[in-house]
Structure formats: C-alpha cells, structure tokens
Amino acid sequence: MNTKLQVCGGAFLLNAPDPRRVFIPEMFTDEDRLISKTAADFLRQEVIPRLDAIESGDHALMAELMRRAGALGLLGADVPEVYGGLGLRQTTSALIAEKLNPQQSFALTHEAHTVIATLPLLFFGSHVQKSRYLPKLASGEWIGAFALSEANSGSDALALQTRATLSADGKQYMLRGEKMWITNSAFADLFTVFAKVDGRVTVFLVERASPGLSFGKEEHKLGMHGTSTRRVILEDVPVPVENALEVGKGHYAAFCALNMGRFKLEAGAVGGLKSLLAICAAYAKQRKAFGRPIAEYGLIQHKLAEMCARTFALESMVYRLAHDLDLAFDGIDATADDAPERYHRAAEELAIECSVVKVIGSEAYSLFADEAIQIHGGYGYTEEFPVARAWRDQRLLRIGEGANEIVRLAIVNILLRRDRAGRLAVLDAGRKISATLVQSMPPDSTVFDGPVDQLDALAQDVADAALFLLFQANEQLGDGLLEQQEIAAAIADLVCLAYCIQSVAIRCGRLQAGPPPRFQAMLDAAEAVGQWAGEESHRAIRYVLDSLPALDDQVDWRDEPFTGIANLLARLVRRDRSPAELRRSLAAAVLERDGWPF
C-alpha cells in the first residue's frame, strides 16, 4: 500500500504548485451543488424561521434542529460510509459549512459536533469504538461536544489539569477536573474529554449519563447566544477502559481536531461574508443620504469592494486547502489498524495552511462585520438589523480553535521544526534569497502581461520576503525567535499573505483560458487583493527590518536606495491602476448583482 502523502504542507513558500492540481470553486460538480442547496434550504426553511427562539437560548430547539440536520445527512459529511456517514470530500464538506454560516449559532453548534467532537474519534479511535459511536453522531441520534479547554488552559491547551486514574481492578478510569467553554454542553450525549493519565494527555469518550458528570450554568456571552456553553464538571466520573483512545496520544487528537476546526470555521466565514455583502448591498441601494442612495458614494463603494475582494480571496484559499486535505486523506481505510497513524499524518501535514486560513478568514470576518455596521449607520447599532448579531457572533472566531496570536506563532514554529526535521528546507531557501537581496541592484522595471501575471510575481515576492526574514531572524535570534513574538507574528503575516495572493492568482489564471461570465469583476477583485496584500506585506517587512539589527555589516538597507530589499519594498506597493477606480468598478458589479457577483 502506498502511504506517501500527495501534498507537502508549507511547500507553497518554496515553489508555486502546478495550477492543474489546485481546486477552485468553479470546479464544483452538480452533486456538490445539490448538497450545497440541501444545506442552504435547511438553513432557510428550518433555522431562520426560528431565529428568535434560537437567539433566546432554546436549547431543546437547537438539539431538535441538529437531529433534523442529521436526517438530511448534514452531520455525516466527514464520517465514512462504513460508519453510517456520507464519506464526502472535504471540498463538499466545506461547502456545507459555508451554506450554514449565516446563522452563526447553528453553524457553531454544527461545527462543534461534526468536527472537533467527531474527528478525534474518527482519526484516533479503534474500529470497535468507531462502530459504536460514529453512526449515532452521523445520524444526529447523539450530539457530540469537545471538552479540552479549562479555566487556566485555553490556547495553552496541553497545560490541562484534568486527571484520569486507573481503578484498582483495571476496568475503568476515574476522571476528575473541570472543563470550560464547552459548546453543546446542554444537550450533548457524548463528550470527547481530554485528561492526563500519568502526565500523558489521553482522550476519553464520556457518555452524558455517566455518574459524577455535571454542568455549570449557561455562560452569558457577547455573541453566539443560540449556542449552549457551560462548564463540564467531572467528579470521579467512571469511564470504561474501552472508552479511552490510545493512552498518551491525546495531544495528537487535540492538534488534529483544532487544525480541522480552523479550516471548517473559515469555510463557514466565506458564507457569512457573502451574506453580509448581500445585506450591505441591499441596504446601500435603498438608504438615501443627501438625496442620493448611499451606494452612489465612493466611501461606501470602497467598503463593498473590499468586502467582496477579501471574500473572494478567502474562498480561493479555503477550497484550495480543502482539496489538498482530500489528497492527504486519500486512500485511508478508516477500519484499518494503521488508520490512526495515517489520519494523524494527513491532518498534521496541512497545519500551516489551516492556520493561515484561520488568521486571514477570522480577521476579514471581524473587519467586515464592523464595516457592515458602519454602512448601516445608527440602524446597524440596533438589534433590528442582522449586522449587530453578525458582529457579536463572529468575534469568537479570532479566539476559538486557538487565539490568532498563538496561531501566528505556531506557523513560524512549525516551519522551523519542519526545517530541522529535514521536511521543508525553508532556512536554506532564505539563505539563498538573502545572498541576492543584500546586493545593490537597479530599480525594477518589469512589464507585466496582465493582472494575473502581476499577482504571480507579487506572490513570489512575498514568499521570498517571508523566507528571507525567517532566515535572518533565526540567524540573529536563534532559539529566542519565538520569544520575540512581534517579529515572529510579522513573519507569519507574510506567510499568510503569500498563500492568499498565490491562491487568488492560481484561480484567476485557470479561469482566464476560458473566461466565465463576470470574469472582469474577478480580475478586479484579484487586483484589489493584490493592492491590499502588497501594502500589508510592506508593513510587515518594514516592521521586522526595523526590529532586527542591521542585516549585514557592509550593507544597511536604509542607506542604499537601490538594494534588492528596497526594490522589493517598492514592488509591493506598485500600482498599475487607480485604487479608487478599481474599487468603484468592483462595487458596481456587487450592486448590480445585489451582493456576491460571481
């Protein structure tokens, strides 16, 4: 059996992939679109009409909605058919998450069940354990919850204090501890609980009826009012030994679940942003100020265009990653003895990309939920319009599944660990780039063959900058790099931006051979992404350069206006088209289509 993975996580920094191997949303099949429609119809017909009850905290209703979703197959997308699921591709599964997100409380309840509560069992459980529980989870007969966080271990999840002690007769573990922020806790039937056995993190499958298991009161949260979030209290809860996943491997299950959770949350963010765009476009067309619809004003058009462009970028990234996950998981027999090892390798391989989409997606959602309120003015600050709820709900995404600050540090840490392990030669690549960038060079005068060509070049520049600065920071700071968190985070931003630009360039490059309708609007969106990403990259590079000692005893980039570094910085903010004109053009497409123009 060939167990070699078909993808290499982080390799996008070293070499642009073959575009023919990259999935783009325009490749969805009729079957994919039918499943997408099922999810969208369920949201529109079953969830949205019950919005007031959901937001008031009717958890019995939420549990019932989850079971109805299960009856339609919307809970079993990631579960193999042998265990009662649909066994869908990750691209299709992500599409379900996208369509459910416009009601974020239901979407989070769904994600907590289908991803972080279910996947540890699928990835690391035995065939007997999976046969017992996965069919119930896939059908919605049982609802799952993920119990990792504690009062003093949030992003530092493995500092957990919950303990599991083996009984004298060796037949059960006794669990003692307290978990915090546990989604679905009011109605979950099965809890995926993380506890330490002799200091080693282990996963336990704890049924709700277990003696000693109790719950705190509902948390009074800023947003996600429709979700149930309580403390889970374990007071010598007996758990049969057959309900423990492999002892000591719980940290693998935690990290893999969080990777997949980051990916799925941002697939959802694509749908949430598209919904916000439609709401804002409709309001801007009907709201008048100074005798004209506010949609006619440049500053409103700028907001609509930026929202559209950044959503286009996130969509390109999410489905590219989804297909790479499909390639990583391809060929795994979920019933085989080696399934845990292979699932672990596959889910871990794309940890960098899952972290990248988490940073880009959650921060775009946060920015544009805020801009949606601004477009609505005073009405946006009231609960009469949906944008206030969207703003409250999305704020969790920059915290959940790992705070973005920790995720940024993780990106750099994983790159360095993979380099040390001989898996990804990022430091050698950065060393070679450094040899070029510290030499005096004439100013760049490249003429690009269209916006896609320019985006390709920009993606390469940003990737080179990330590798160059990672090498320089590692040379100068060594093991102290991750302690210099501001520097590491700026380098992580460059990694994120390189993946973002490259994903958009590949998508547009594939489409230009046979341009679809409204392709010009896609090019406008892509060019707007390039302008934004170039500015952000310029900021991040300058931050690191200004925070590190001189890069070379002989060359100080600040005193040499024609060094390779200076030219790189100039290229990042090069403009071949007026930013205002570009955004007016894209906003016109948004307004013409009453939202998402593609």
Residue the block writes with tokens 């590219």:
320
pLDDT of residue 558: 53
Q: What angle do CA 448, 450, 455 make, to 5 degrees?
A: 75
* Range of the structural domain that residue 465 is part of: 423-592
Q: What angle do CA 104, 35, 191 make, to 5 degrees?
A: 50
pLDDT of residue 561: 46
**Identity (one letter) of the amino acid at 196?**
K
Q: Which of 444, 484, 456 is nearest to 565 (CA)?
A: 444
Q: Which of 301, 273, 269 is nearest to 285 (CA)?
A: 301
* pLDDT for residue 574 is more than 90: no
Q: What is the mean pLDDT of the chain?
A: 94
The answer to whether position 280 is within a domain reads no
Q: Find out whether 311 and 302 touch, Cβ atoms under 8 Å.
A: no
Cα–Cα distance measured from residue 462 to residue 213, given in angstroms and rounded to the nearest whole number: 51
Residues 6+ apart with CB under 8 A from 27: none
Cα–Cα distance measured from residue 510 to residue 17, given in angstroms and rounded to the nearest whole number: 13
pLDDT of residue 564: 79
The mean pLDDT of 73-92, rounded to a whole number, is 98
The answer to whether position 354 is within a domain reads no
The answer to whether position 165 is within a domain reads yes
pLDDT of residue 39: 98
pLDDT of residue 179: 97
Residues 6+ apart with CB under 8 A from 120: 146, 192, 203, 245, 253, 254, 256, 257
Cα–Cα distance measured from residue 466 to residue 151, given in angstroms and rounded to the nearest whole number: 35
Q: What confidence tens digit (pLDDT) does each residue in 245-255 have?
A: 999 999 999 99
pLDDT of residue 445: 60
Q: Find out whether 315 and 270 touch, Cβ atoms under 8 Å.
A: yes
Which of 52-56, 112-116, 218-222, 570-574 is predicted least confidently? 570-574
| Number of domains the chain is built from | 2
* pLDDT for residue 551 is more than 70: no
Domain end call among 247, 267, 288: 247
Residues 6+ apart with CB under 8 A from 430: 467, 468, 469, 470, 471, 472, 474
Q: Which member of 401, 486, 527, 592 is catalytic?
A: 401
The mean pLDDT of 501-529, rounded to a whole number, is 95
Residue 401 a catalytic site member: yes
Phi, psi of 183 (to 5 degrees): -70, 140
The mean pLDDT of 71-92, rounded to a whole number, is 98
pLDDT of residue 325: 98
Share of the chain above pLDDT 70, in %: 95
pLDDT of residue 4: 73
Cα–Cα distance measured from residue 341 to residue 332, given in angstroms and rounded to the nearest whole number: 10
Q: Find out whether 548 and 487 touch, Cβ atoms under 8 Å.
A: yes
pLDDT of residue 438: 64
Residue the block writes with tokens 């998450």:
97
The answer to whether position 16 is within a domain reads no
Q: Find out whether 205 and 129 touch, Cβ atoms under 8 Å.
A: yes
Cα–Cα distance measured from residue 78 to residue 121, given in angstroms and rounded to the nearest whole number: 12
The answer to whether position 116 is within a domain reads no
* pLDDT for residue 545 is more than 70: yes
The answer to whether position 20 is within a domain reads no
Residues 6+ apart with CB under 8 A from 254: 120, 148, 157, 158, 194, 201
User: Residue 156 — pLDDT band, cuts 50, 70, 90?
Assistant: confident
Phi, psi of 456 (to 5 degrees): -55, -45
Cα–Cα distance measured from residue 205 to residue 121, given in angstroms and rounded to the nearest whole number: 8
Cα–Cα distance measured from residue 512 to residue 453, given in angstroms and rounded to the nearest whole number: 11
Q: What confidence tens digit (pLDDT) does each residue in 32-61 have?
A: 999 999 999 999 999 999 999 999 999 999
**Identity (one letter) of the amino acid at 509?**
G
Angle of the 404-420 helix axis to the 351-376 helix axis, nearest 10: 160
Q: Find out whether 247 and 200 touch, Cβ atoms under 8 Å.
A: yes
* pLDDT for residue 555 is more than 60: no
**Identity (one letter) of the amino acid at 579?**
P
Provide the Cα torsion 383, 384, 390, 391; round to 10°: -50
Residue 481's CATH number: 1.20.140.10
Residue 170's CATH number: 2.40.110.10
pLDDT of residue 557: 53
Residues 6+ apart with CB under 8 A from 432: none
Q: Find out whether 160 and 180 touch, Cβ atoms under 8 Å.
A: no
pLDDT of residue 234: 98
The answer to whether position 260 is within a domain reads no
Q: What confidence tens digit (pLDDT) does each residue in 180-199 have?
A: 999 999 999 999 999 999 99
The answer to whether position 197 is within a domain reads yes
User: Residue 560 — pLDDT band, cuts 50, 70, 90?
Assistant: low
Tally DSSP H helices, then E strands, for the chain.
Answer: 19, 9
Domain end call among 247, 264, 293: 247
The mean pLDDT of 545-571, rounded to a whole number, is 69
Q: How far is CA 563 from the centre of its chain?
A: 37
Q: What confidence tens digit (pLDDT) does each residue in 386-416 have?
A: 999 999 999 999 999 999 999 999 999 999 9
Tokens of residue 373, six digits = 């309120």
User: Residue 441 — pLDDT band, cuts 50, 70, 90?
Assistant: low
* pLDDT for residue 498 is more than 80: yes
The mean pLDDT of 438-463, rounded to a whole number, is 79
Cα–Cα distance measured from residue 498 to residue 540, given in angstroms and rounded to the nearest whole number: 12
Between 436 and 220, name the one with better pLDDT: 220
Domain end call among 192, 218, 247: 247
Which of 51-55, 164-168, 515-519 is predicted least confidently? 515-519
* pLDDT for residue 440 is more than 60: no
pLDDT of residue 446: 66
